[in-house]
């Protein structure tokens, strides 16, 4: 199985700032990485798939980049609703595997 290493595990930022979350795969997954947002009491939300394709409804302040083994989720101009947990997931091969998560908190 492909191992996904996500960093940092915790991140604090203020509204209006930009942040980046990294995800590293144990082997090449081409461009096939998804990003999810998780908030208490809500269903997990797909933000980005195939590395950089925004899911319908994802605000343009979110962007994804990378290919091969190294990927980044960038959130520009943070809004209060962006704070929560973020997970990466490789969807290049079966079985799908997830990163360990990044908790984005308000500074």
Q: Are 96 and 2 in contact (CB under 8 A)?
A: no
Q: Are 23 and 37 in contact (CB under 8 A)?
A: no
What is the smallest separation between the CB atom of 97 and another protein, expressed in angstroms?
A: 7
Instruction: Please tell me the distance from the alpha carbon of residue 91 to that of residue 56, in angstroms, as a whole number.
Output: 18
Q: Under the criterion CB under 8 A, does residue 37 sit at the interface with another protein? A: no
Using the rule CB under 8 A, which residue among 19, 69, 99, 104 binds another protein?
A: 99
Q: Are 70 and 77 in contact (CB under 8 A)?
A: no
Using the rule CB under 8 A, which residue among 50, 52, 63, 65 binds another protein?
A: 50
| Contact positions vs another protein (CB under 8 A) | 32, 34, 36, 41-46, 49-50, 55, 87, 89, 91-101
């Amino acid at each position: 199985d492909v191992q996904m290493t996500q960093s940092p595990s915790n991140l604090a930022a203020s509204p209006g700032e930009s942040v980046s979350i990294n995800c590293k795969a144990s082997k090449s997954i081409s461009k096939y990485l998804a990003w999810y947002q998780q908030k208490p009491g809500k269903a997990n939300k797909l933000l980005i798939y195939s590395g950089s394709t925004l899911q319908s409804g994802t605000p343009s302040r979110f962007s994804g980049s990378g290919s091969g083994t190294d990927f980044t989720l960038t959130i520009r101009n943070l809004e209060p609703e962006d704070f929560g947990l973020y997970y990466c997931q490789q969807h290049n091969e079966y079985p799908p595997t997830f990163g360990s998560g990044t908790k984005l908190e308000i500074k």
